Amino acid sequence: MNSQVNHKAAGAGGRSNADTPALDVERIRKDFPVLNQQIHGKPLVYLDNAATSQKPQAVIDALTHYYAFDNSNVHRGVHTLSMRATDAYENTREKVRQFINAQDQSELIFVRGTTEGINLVAQSFGQAYIHSGDEVLITAMEHHSNIVPWQILCEDRGATLNVAPMNEAGEIPLDSFEKLLTDRTKIFSVVHVSNALGTVNPVAKMIQMAHNRGIPVLIDGAQAAPHIEIDVQALDCEFYVFSSHKMYGPTGIGVVYGKHELLDAMPPYQGGGDMIASVTFEKTIYNTLPHKFEAGTPNVAGVVGLGAAIDYIGSIGLPEIGAHEHNLIEYAEEKLLAVDGVQLIGTARNKAGCVSFVLEDIHPHDVGTILDQEGIAVRTGHHCTQPVMDFFGIPATSRASFGMYNTKAEIDALIDAIHKVKEVFG
Ligand code: C6P
């Protein structure tokens, strides 16, 4: 395992900006075994990191080690394996606490991912605080995971779902957003970084504006956690939700951060083992936080893998990763715009993670299929953001999304392949 290796290449290869040393990307790439393969006879160029990122050997090793030596259930046994598994599980909670600077481990709930996390908050917070006539506010650029759970809740409670509008750049104008913060708004839920457009929303400002009206805020951090340092205390958000598999960790695991006071007042999301202090047929007393929200045997291996992913990211540094990816986005946008017929979808001033584009009237699925023949993996489709596609009047986009191991040479390969698409369909 080489998760403690320092991959920063200060002084070797220049600086990506004034403060941040460039990454030693060639060395980082060696940590990701999946990258070292050919697809249709061409070197794999993996540009689908927003869907899921690849896993470093350190994460793969942590999963293997857990199953080979420590596998057991957590919080249930006094035997050595159970205690080892429990330690590994709870140690990761501390790593997550540090990763997002939460005040206390009790504020961190392990869930399956962002989707389950938002459903947990919608159902549990909704049951306690949202009633007939109330309003829930989201924005026009949300992922379906941050739309449908609120629709289900609003339908159930007789509440109204309001949507803060977006402009042509893919930004949420704050004045129109502010007008939708009313006395009836019981929660505002917003994506930190858009998976379809790459927009980085000014969430600190939005949280402040919502708080001025006493409105709690949930941040969907699925596309922020791999790219941007998160400090939930500085943001002061009520909830922050993210997935492990987009930040170099395993699938099937994610985190809900919630302020202790709120989580404590909210009812459980699911009932079952581990979330109780005592059970009789007459009455159940619930467990303390965070266990009240973790019913049943959790994904222990996933949690262990997430811990290894956090260590790995820490060994490289999120500011350095973010700066490297920022350079890639700028380079990709410049090169894409130089191709006749390419239109960028999402031109916000502050972007992270991805670039979305359409190419003349060639359907993105055709673009994706030809790119695959060239060994290039991008996502094509509506990216689970159909309202965003409707807003731009298109069925789909092609999206290149970046991780710490991507290079400018890979973007050059993407551009060459786009020219091939144009030849085929031109
Ligand atoms: N977006 C993409 O290709 P899960 O699937 O639960 O880990 O994450 C859901 C989710 C929620 N919010 C945002 C902003 C997201 O981007 C995603 C997942 C993937 O863009 C799969 S649709």
Mean pLDDT for each consecutive 10-residue tract of the chain (426 residues)?
42 41 92 98 98 98 98 92 97 98 98 98 98 98 98 98 98 98 98 98 98 98 98 98 98 98 98 96 97 98 98 98 98 98 98 97 96 98 98 98 98 98 92
**pLDDT at residue 426, as a whole number:** 78
Q: Which domains does the chain have, with CATH numbers?
A: 17-55+317-424 (3.90.1150.10), 59-314 (3.40.640.10)
In angstroms, the CA 324 to CA 20 distance is 9
| H/E segment holding residue 65 | helix 57-65
3-state secondary structure (DSSP) of residue 115: helix
**pLDDT at residue 362, as a whole number:** 97
**pLDDT at residue 132, as a whole number:** 98
Pocket test for ligand 1, best of 227, 354, 384, 398 (most atoms within 8 A of CB): 384
- Answer whether 326's CB lies under 8 Å from 352's CB: yes
| H/E segment holding residue 419 | helix 408-425
Q: Longest Cα pair distance anywhere in the chain, in angstroms?
A: 72
Query: Is 354 one of the catalytic residues?
Result: no
- β-pair partners for 239: 218, 258
397 lines ligand 1 (CB under 6 A): no
Q: Which of 108, 77, 127 is nearest to 289 (CA)?
A: 108
Backbone angles phi, psi at 245, to 5 degrees: -70, -15
In angstroms, the CA 260 to CA 102 distance is 10
352 lines ligand 1 (CB under 6 A): no
- Answer whether 182's CB lies under 8 Å from 173's CB: no
Query: What secondary structure does DSSP assign to 395-411, as a single string?
Result: S-EEEEE--TT--HHHH
Total Cβ atoms within 10 A of residue 391: 18
The token duo for 188 is 């505002």
Backbone angles phi, psi at 34, to 5 degrees: -65, -25
**pLDDT at residue 8, as a whole number:** 47
Pocket test for ligand 1, best of 112, 116, 143, 197 (most atoms within 8 A of CB): 143
**pLDDT at residue 19, as a whole number:** 52
The token duo for 109 is 């709930």
In angstroms, the CA 130 to CA 153 distance is 9
**In one letter, which amino acid is 156?**
D
223 lines ligand 1 (CB under 6 A): yes
Query: What secondary structure does DSSP assign to 315-353, as a single string?
Result: HH-HHHHHHHHHHHHHHHHHHHHTSTTEEEE---SSB-S
- β-pair partners for 279: 284
CA of 49 to the centre of ligand 1 (A): 11
Q: Model's pTM, two decimal places? A: 0.96
Catalytic residue, candidates 154, 237, 354, 384: 384
CA of 14 to the centre of ligand 1 (A): 34
| H/E segment holding residue 27 | helix 25-30
CA of 249 to the centre of ligand 1 (A): 14
Tokens 């913060």 sit on residue: 181
28 lines ligand 1 (CB under 6 A): no
**pLDDT at residue 20, as a whole number:** 56
**In one letter, which amino acid is 370?**
I
Q: Which of 259, 294, 247, 290 is nearest to 112 (CA)?
A: 294
Q: Which of 275, 276, 286 is nearest to 109 (CA)?
A: 275
Cβ-based neighbours of 68, under 8 Å, separated by 6 or more: none
CA of 114 to the centre of ligand 1 (A): 7
**pLDDT at residue 9, as a whole number:** 44
